[in-house]
Copies of this chain bind each other. A is one copy, B any other.
Amino acid sequence: MCKLQFSFELKTQDEKARLGKIITPRGSIDTPAFMPVGTLGTVKGVFSEDIVETGSQIILGNTYHLMIRPGTDVLDLFGGLHNFMNWQKPILTDSGGFQIMSLAKLNKIDINIGAVFSSHIDGKKFVLSPEKSIQIQKSINSDILMVLDECPSLTKDKDKLISAIQISTSWAKRCKIEFGNNTKKGLFGIVQGGLYKNLRLDSLEKLVSIGFDGYAMGGLAVGENQEEMFNILNNTVDYMPKNKPRYLMGVGTPSDILGAVKSGIDMFDCVMPTRSGRTGLAFTWEGKINLRNAKFQKDKTPLDSNTTIRNLNLYSKSYLNHLIKTNEILASMLISLHNINFYQQFMLKIRKEIKKGTFNNFYNKYIDMF
């Protein structure tokens, strides 16, 4: 039976770690889930069909990048990003907020107007209001939309964080109104508050009172160390609504994911598998390895002899070492695909361990490996 409404089902818990399923009309997503990042309408260096083969059930698109290129006029022509990029499974889009703070030339944040900034590509001026962010995400036709938030850089300045919560809460309300009544898609709120528990809970409470289909932890993975991130997650995630998916934005290493799952997070996204792939770094069950290293020059073993996807098991570390040293595109193609596949195997294993009630063993085995 095809459920046509966006929904979330919590199946079981192993201590705080959760096994669940997000249902969307475009397909369901087993959680804990990892979303490969397709910044500009492509998961860099990987064919869409191969992303599917890795077991990825959802990818992330970046509203900021897509609004600049190709722009909503092109996306509208295709009825959204799915047809444009040939990816028919669910897509989650961020709101554009994070890139405006980190990448664009930000002119000002005005609680009433939105974010005023210049494109990092051609300097063109844009105003991104909460309404505009949702409108663009509707042009992208994403299945999970994020509210526009103000995402401050890492700071211990409580006033800045309180101000960010105030602005983000106000924008979240406006985003929900602009989103309207759409049971086929999900709109997620974003919790701010830096590394302060009381601020996080304050932000969360305000968002819950507005009411969203899911809740994200924003403003993490912005320079704090892993212990600080795990601490704030351990102290706050448990307060997030149990019947809604919980998303930790922009995270992270396999180890980061393990710790966050342990505190009850359900969803992740990160450029790490593809960005690492392009520089010759591969994730394996024996840890992270740098294929550029001369010790792999005559290593005939594959990265993972069990992986049959695209015959990846037929490519040796020696060959990958050669491709990286000669700057061949195929190096990025093979290692990025391997890394995404590894991440999805890792998530699959996490889900199995939670189901069996043995997640802590898995956590202990791998938490220090990556």
Residues of A within 8 A of B (CB): 40-42, 44-49, 69-70, 73-74, 77-78, 84-86, 297-298, 300, 310-311, 314-316, 318-319, 322-323, 325-326, 328-330, 332-333
Contacts and interface: CB of A to CB of B under 8 A. Distances in A.
B69 A326 contact: yes
B69 A310 contact: no
A315 B40 contact: no
B328 A84 contact: no
20 contacts: A40-B322, A40-B328, A41-B319, A42-B328, A42-B330, A44-B328, A46-B330, A48-B311, A49-B310, A49-B311, A69-B322, A70-B322, A74-B322, A77-B298, A77-B300, A77-B318, A84-B319, A86-B311, A86-B319, A333-B333
A332 B329 contact: yes
A328 B310 CA distance: 21
A70 B297 contact: yes
Contacts of A333: 45, 47, 329, 333
A42 to B, nearest CB: 4
Name, among A44, A46, A78, A322, the residue most crowded by chain B CB atoms within 10 Å (CB to CB): A322
Nearest to A330: B42
Which 4 A-B residue pairings sit nearest by Cβ, starting from the closest? A45-B329, A70-B322, A42-B330, A86-B314
A82 to B, nearest CB: 11
Contacts of A297: 70, 74
Contacts of A330: 42, 44-47
Contacts of A322: 40-41, 69-70, 74, 84
Contacts of A70: 297, 318, 322
A314 B74 CA distance: 16
A77 B319 CA distance: 11
Contacts of A319: 41, 84-86
Given A44-B330, A74-B297, A84-B319, A69 B325 contact: yes
A296 to B, nearest CB: 11
B85 A44 contact: no
A329 B329 contact: yes
Nearest to A40: B326
Contacts of A318: 70, 74, 77-78, 84
A30 to B, nearest CB: 25
A74 B76 CA distance: 51
A329 B44 contact: yes
A216 to B, nearest CB: 26
Given A311-B86, A328-B42, A298 B47 contact: no
A316 B79 CA distance: 13
A326 to B, nearest CB: 5
A12 to B, nearest CB: 37
A77 B44 CA distance: 32
Contacts of A42: 323, 328-330
A329 B275 CA distance: 12
A119 to B, nearest CB: 13
Contacts of A46: 330
A356 B86 CA distance: 39
Given A45-B333, A46-B330, 10 more contacts: A40-B322, A40-B328, A41-B319, A45-B329, A47-B330, A47-B333, A49-B310, A77-B318, A78-B316, A78-B318
